[in-house]
């Protein structure tokens, strides 16, 4: 028997350019469904934007999954929340007739986007991961079959060490993703360079096959 999915708070902005893939916006800790809409409009003008709010609260701040400490994830919760997010994406595709989206995640949102790639490999058209960490100590088996991923790290990021970024890039590459990894001269916050690189990368994605 089918069940109605209880949708999280979210924003949906219909696109004006049918050639562009939808963008799934995933905010960082303390953000909400409104935070990344301006970024989505900048990097993918004309694209449909889907922006859910994380349903976990940490000291009153929304997140997409629980953590046990800074940089230490509750992996059981991460798996469950990732599966919930995948169900939300499929529901939005069904409701609105959307193609596979490109995930655009920052920090906590980038972490669950990486988890989404590994747990639901066929769901996403690609992903832009801004300041992402390795989601799992041991990577789940996944076949990403050339799924394009842009990973942008900060050389002076106090939260995500360079070795962690490199390990995530290797984990996704080993799963078959086509990873472009750039380390920028910045910290954990976003820069204009992030915007420019993400915009150009999304614009260069090959079109959907007929």
Over residues 35-53, the mean pLDDT reads 98
Of 84, 29, 25, give the one whose Cα is nearest residue 60.
29
CATH number given to 10-203: 3.40.50.1820
Q: What percent of the chain has pLDDT over 70?
A: 95
Over residues 190-202, the pLDDT tens digits come to: 999 999 999 999 9
Distance CA 143, CA 154 (A): 28
Cβ–Cβ under 8 Å, residues 190 and 199: no
Q: What percent of the chain has pLDDT over 90?
A: 90
Predicted local confidence at residue 69, as pLDDT: 86
> In this model, does residue 40 exceed pLDDT 80?
yes
Radius of gyration of the chain (CA): 16
Predicted local confidence at residue 201, as pLDDT: 98
Bridge partners for 25 per DSSP: 104
Give the catalytic positions in this structure: 107, 157, 188
pLDDT class of 71 with cuts at 50, 70, 90: confident
> In this model, does residue 206 exceed pLDDT 60?
yes
Helix/strand/coil (H, E, C) string of 69-81?
ECCEECHHHHHHH
Mean pLDDT across the chain, nearest whole number?
94
Q: In sequence order, which ranges of 44-191 are alpha helices (DSSP H)?
A: 75-96, 108-119, 162-174
> In this model, does residue 1 exceed pLDDT 60?
no
How many CB atoms lie under 10 A from the CB of residue 16?
A: 10
Cβ–Cβ under 8 Å, residues 22 and 48: yes
Predicted local confidence at residue 2, as pLDDT: 34
Over residues 115-134, the pLDDT tens digits come to: 999 999 999 999 999 999 99
Distance CA 51, CA 74 (A): 23
Predicted local confidence at residue 8, as pLDDT: 87
């Amino acid at each position: 028997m089918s069940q109605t999915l209880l949708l999280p708070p979210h924003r949906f902005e219909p696109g004006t350019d049918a050639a562009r893939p939808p963008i799934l916006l995933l905010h960082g800790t303390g953000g909400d469904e409104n935070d990344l809409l301006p970024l989505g409009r900048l990097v993918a003008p004309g694209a449909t934007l889907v922006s859910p709010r994380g349903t976990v609260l940490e000291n009153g701040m929304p997140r997409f999954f629980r953590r046990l400490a800074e940089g230490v994830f509750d992996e059981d919760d991460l798996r469950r929340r990732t599966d919930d997010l995948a169900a939300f994406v499929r529901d939005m595709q069904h409701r609105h007739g959307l193609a596979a989206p490109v995930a655009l995640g920052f920090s906590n949102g980038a972490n669950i986007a990486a988890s989404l790639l590994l747990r639901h490999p066929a769901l996403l058209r690609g992903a832009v991961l801004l300041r992402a960490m390795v989601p799992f100590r041991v990577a789940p088996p996944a076949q990403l079959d050339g799924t394009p991923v842009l990973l942008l790290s900060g050389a002076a990021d106090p939260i995500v060490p360079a070795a962690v970024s490199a390990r995530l890039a290797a984990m996704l590459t080993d799963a078959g993703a086509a990873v472009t990894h750039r380390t920028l001269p910045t910290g954990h916050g976003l820069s204009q360079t992030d915007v420019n690189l993400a915009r150009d990368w999304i614009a260069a994605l090959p079109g959907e096959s007929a």
